[in-house]
Amino acid sequence: MRILLVEDDKLLGDGVQAGLAQSGFNVDWVRDGVAGELALRTGEYAGVVLDLGLPRLSGLELLQRLRKLGNKVPVLILTARDSVEDRVKGLDSGADDYLIKPFDLPELAARLRALVRRASGEAAPRLRVGEIELDPAARSVTFRARPVELSVREFALLQELMLNAGRVLSREQLAQRLYAWGEEIESNAIEVHVHHLRRKLAPELLRTVRGVGYMLPREAS
Q: What is the pLDDT of residues 1-13, one digit of tens each?
A: 899 999 999 999 9
Residues of the chain with CATH 1.10.10.10: 127-215
The pLDDT value recorded for residue 2 is: 92
> HSE (CB half, 13 Å, CA atoms) of 205?
22
Least trusted range by pLDDT, from 39-53, 112-126, 134-148, 192-206: 112-126
Residues of the chain with CATH 3.40.50.2300: 2-119
Degrees, nearest 5: CA angle 194-199-205: 65
The pLDDT value recorded for residue 108 is: 97
pLDDT above 90 (res 159): yes
Helices (H) and strands (E) in the chain, counts: 8, 12
The pLDDT value recorded for residue 170 is: 93
The pLDDT value recorded for residue 45 is: 93
Average pLDDT over residues 155-174: 92
Give domain 2-119's CATH architecture. Answer: 3-Layer(aba) Sandwich (3.40)
Q: What is the pLDDT of residues 113-154, one digit of tens each?
A: 999 988 887 777 889 999 999 999 899 999 999 999 999 999
What's the CATH fold of domain 127-215? Answer: Arc Repressor Mutant, subunit A (1.10.10)
User: What residues pair up with 49 in beta bridges, in sequence order?
Assistant: 5, 76
Average pLDDT over residues 76-85: 94
The pLDDT value recorded for residue 121 is: 78
pLDDT above 60 (res 15): yes
The pLDDT value recorded for residue 220 is: 64
pTM, two decimals, is: 0.82
pLDDT above 80 (res 219): no
